[in-house]
Amino acid sequence: MQVFNTVADVRNQIKEWRKQGLTVGLVPTMGYLHEGHQSLMAQAKQQNDKVIVSVFVNPIQFGPNEDLANYPRDLDRDILACQNMGVDMIFCPPASEMYDPHFSSFVDVTGITEQLCGKRRPGHFKGVCTVVTKLFNITQPDRAYFGQKDAQQLAVIKQMVNDLNIPIVIVGCPIIREADGLAKSSRNSYLSTQERNAALCLYQAITLAKSLLQQGERQSDKLINAMKTVIEQQPLARIDYIEITDFNTLKSVKHIEQSVLIALAVFIGNTRLIDNFVFTLPE
């Protein structure tokens, strides 16, 4: 496995792979890799001859009061995780390689970014779309892999690729959970033991909503209130949002008549966690 930190080295290696007619899959990450990331790598391995994992904590997608400085980093651990999955290349550039001092070009997707997390984190998806576009231009993969846990990010990237005619297939991969249901996330490392136990309220709320949907409930406000009740019983939890949206547009729906995304963001102590699930009406 090769580990590169310059654009030139990455492009030279990809040029050699392309001469051999090999396909390339990209797994963009911010590092501190876990089984969720590894599931993306496994999918990429199945569908491509070569797999690249980018490890880059992207400064321009963090707001002024967010956790850029404290975001967990451990490149040695990440290299081992990638080796174990048979990854062919890690691209781990410093910020100066991705953004020179005169950098002034951004990719901004509108509309779909103005719901859910985008509404609460101004500029976040502008930073995400910019760095992902740069990674696509640098690695020129056939396919790129993103987790369903970041459901809005997945939808935004699909929109961007469609709008800009970027010749890459975007593959969404299922949420990977701990044995007790907590969605795997690099930010879980911030949680104390007490907070880790409290974080289960997200999955408990999702489980209740699924049960109510199976029983025939279709009113969004009733589902949201039931989920709120579960989370508000946990003293360490503070709800950022719980929303039920159209699966395609991410606009809120009052009554479920089509596929919907049920998404929530909850602060556990100072750590903001997200989770979601997709509900499709039975035939």
d(CA 172, CA 14): 23
Place of tokens 């049920």: 262
> What number of H helices and E strands is found in the chain?
10, 9
State how far the alpha carbon of 25 is from the alpha carbons of 5, 52, 56, 108, in Å. 18, 6, 17, 24
Beta bridge partners of 25: 51, 143
d(CA 178, CA 188): 11
Q: Which residues are within 8 A (CB) of 100 and not within 5 positions of it... i.e. 6 or more apart?
A: none
Which positions are annotated as active-site residues? 37
d(CA 266, CA 269): 9
At 164, phi and psi to the nearest 5? -100, 5
Q: Is 34 exposed, middle or buried (0-12, 13-18, 19+ CB in 10 A)?
A: middle
What's the CA dihedral at 256, 260, 262, 263 to 10 degrees? -140
